[in-house]
Structure 1
Amino acid sequence: MPISIRIGNEDLTVDVSSLGAEMQALSSSDGRSWLWTGDAAFWTGRSPILFPIVGKAPDDKVAIGGTVYPMAQHGFARRSEFVLAASTETMCRFELVASDATRSVYPFDFQLAVVHAVEGRVLTVTAEVTNRGRKAMPFGLGFHSAFAWPLPDASGRDHVVTLDNKGEPGLVRLEGGLINPAPLPSPFDAGRLVLDHAMFEQDAMIFPDGAGESLSYGAEGGPVMQFHFENLPNLALWTKPSAPFLCIEPWHGTAAEAGGSSELSERPSTTILAPGAVASFAFTVKIPE
């Protein structure tokens, strides 16, 4: 059975499940909840970790060195039971290591560690991938956190995503769950995007590059959450039409391209990790007072 760990300080409280090392709640000391509650009427996820792929594979299969393996959307980590490796009042570290079950679909010896840590009003979530084998290891890694929309005390206000770099990154859309690489006009205007549920009628908005390393998500005249990304060059925004959440998804890797290769190593933005090497990916979010 999964276990749940609570970490926190005088400002923030975070609950994390051993199932998927997935954050289940993010609350400030005044009782306001910033993370989506996981209502099954819309979507049961809250903040899944995506590994060893981000998004879908053609026919839910990936090729690795020419051998074909089954691979569900977003990989298997989010449905895997992690082991609690360390914890303090303000930090918890969960680990997933290769097993016979994972090798049957992903033939590599890996360790995936997910660390949640709070300091002041800042939460940092870090994913650390180690290649414990003797061959180069391809993978994608992504975060898929769903935050409240509307934010606390911000019902009826416009909600805005603002890129710190003031960029207007090109948009791509999904076609049968796969990336249609044809670029579309950016919905950002000088880094600013006023959110509308109609934007998500065609599924996620995906920005393969150019969104930068930091952004804010907030309500006009209301609370604003500030994000920073490390080693996460791709960005997606997603919700289901009329659902009360917004997923802010920094990735290193995307879904396969429609009509493209099924080889895992050839997916967009795939990391190829050398034997014995470690790759780290992280995001921070500052919760408003």
Structure 2
Amino acid sequence: MSDTITIAAADGTAATIALHGAEPVSWVVAGREYLWEGDPAHWNRHAPWLFPVVGASAGGRVRVGDDTFPMAQHGFARDLPFAVAAQAPDSVTLRLGDDAATRAHYPFAFALDITATVSPGRLAFTIVVHNTGETALPYGLGFHPAFPWPFAGGERAAGAGYAVVFEHPERPFAPQVGEGGLLLRDEQPLPLDGDTLPLDPEIFTEALVVLDAKSRWMRFAGPDGSAIRLEAEDFPHLAVWTKPTAPFLSLECWTGHADWAGFSGDLSERDAQRLLAPGARARHGVTLSFEAAGA
């Protein structure tokens, strides 16, 4: 079996999904690639899924009851193989379940299903977290896709006409990021102009995080009027990230976030971590859309 699966819509919109991490590695609209290529000189990922935590954990560990477990930044799902649960020409469902390897980091029973579906100009995901165990399941979920910058001509520079536009005006402050990727209660100003963040590579020393965002969607808009839009369902936090010298921009949506500096509690007490009852399922959604200039 191939280590990737390609799905396509009638108009030629296509996506390739890797079994490793259920990560989208290509999204082609009208013959053009709109996902970041994963050049390891800058960032060797394309669009990883974050589970069962988002961001850094204090000391690189999580506590569950009287025990502690190693936990990498953004969890482990992005680094594990998923199985094919269902497949059609325009969609695929990939599944990750708990096993001895996951329980060494996260002592819970779960199933994580990610369904990717293409339609004209769109790549949509339905994510279902299922608590298959007998105790409450604390989880965080995030999506971290990156896109070429520039994608619509021009330059990757201040004043070049690229911006992130939010559905609603957002509060122009974000938590600072401290040692080890932990969040600080001190805030930094965001150069937001109402609903618009004019893009300048130099503003990105860390991710710019919009906690408890009013917006459910944001658009990475180009100078010609075209845009890549991310719309999130049941992801209350949004983020924008790149590196000052890297030719990509990441639009992110999260249910949770990194630990606050000084946190030492149980994983179930982590700020914004979801608690899923035994046997319950939680559904989340993300849709990527390409909006052509003048459309």
Relative to the length of structure 1, the TM-score reads 0.95
Q: In 2, Cα distance between the equivalents of 1:12 and 1:135?
A: 42
1:125 matched to 2:117: no
User: Are the aligned partners of 2:152 and 2:222 in contact in 1 as well (CA < 8 Å)?
Assistant: no
Partner Cα distance (1:119, 1:35) in 2 = 16
- Offset at residue 288 of structure 1 (A): 2.4
In the TM superposition, residue 188 of structure 1 has moved relative to its aligned partner by 1.5
Matches within 5 A, 1:27-106: 27-29=28-30, 31-106=31-106
CA shift digits 1:92-128 (9 cap, x unpaired)? 1100001011112111110001111112222112221
Query: Tell me, what secondary structure is at the counterpart of 1:287?
Result: strand
Structure 1 Cα separation of the partners of residues 176 and 37 of structure 2: 27
Matches within 5 A, 1:248-267: 248-267=251-270
Q: How does 1:133-148 map to 2 (within 5 A)?
A: 133-148=133-148
Instruction: Give distance in 2, aligned partners of 1:53 and 1:109.
Output: 15
Gaps spanning 5+ residues in structure 2: where?
none
Q: Distance in 1 between matches of 2:214 and 2:148?
A: 21
Count the aligned residue pairs.
Answer: 287
Find the aligned partners of 2:270 and 2:191 in 1 and give their Cα distance.
25
Q: 1:257-279 CA distances to partner (integer Å, 9 max, x unpaired)?
A: 01123421222211000001111
SS at match of 2:33: coil
- Deviation of the 1:169 alpha carbon: 4.7
Give distance in 2, aligned partners of 1:154 and 1:288. Answer: 18
Counterparts of 1:265 and 1:212, CA distance in 2: 26
Counterpart in the other structure of 1:277: 280
Asked if residue 199 in structure 1 is aligned to residue 200 in structure 2, the reply is: no
Identity of aligned residues (%): 36
Greater Cα shift, 265-274 or 33-42? 265-274
Matched residues in 1 for 2:87 and 2:2: separation? 16
Shift in Å, 1:211: 4.4
Q: Which moved more, 1:257-266 or 1:125-134?
A: 257-266
- 2:224 aligned residue: 221
Hey, what does 2:184 align to over in structure 1? Answer: 180
CA contact (8 A) 1:169 1:209 kept: no
Shift of 1:80: 0.4
Cα pair distance change 1:82/1:2, threshold 3 Å = farther
Q: Deviations over 1:12-61 (max 9, x none)?
A: 110000000000011113x2111100001011011100000111111210
Tell me the residue number matched to 2:23.
Answer: 22
Separation of aligned partners in 2, 1:115 and 1:28: 19
Q: What SS is found at the alignment partner of 1:78?
A: helix
Kept after mapping to 1: 8 A contact 2:21/2:82: yes
How big is the alpha-carbon RMSD for the aligned residues of Structure 1 and Structure 2? 1.5
Q: Aligned partners of 1:45, 1:275: CA distance in 2, in Å? A: 33
> Which secondary structure state, in structure 2, belongs to the residue aligned with residue 101 of structure 1?
helix
CA contact (8 A) 2:82 2:95 kept: yes
Indicate which of 192, 210, 213 corresponds to 1:210: 213
Instruction: Give the whole-Å Cα distance in 2 for the aligned partners of 1:107 and 1:236.
Output: 29
CA distance in structure 2 between the partners assigned to 1:159 and 1:80 by the alignment: 35
Give the deviation of 1:170 after TM superposition. 2.9
Detail structure 1 runs of 4+ shifted over 4 Å in the superposition: none
Correspondence 1:237 to 2:240: yes
Letter in 2 for 1:191: D
The one-letter amino acid of 1:192's match is T
For 2:271 and 2:141, the matched residues in 1 are separated by 12
> 1:119-171: CA deviations, max 9, x gaps?
22221122210000000010110000011111143446321001111223531
Counterpart code for 2:37: T
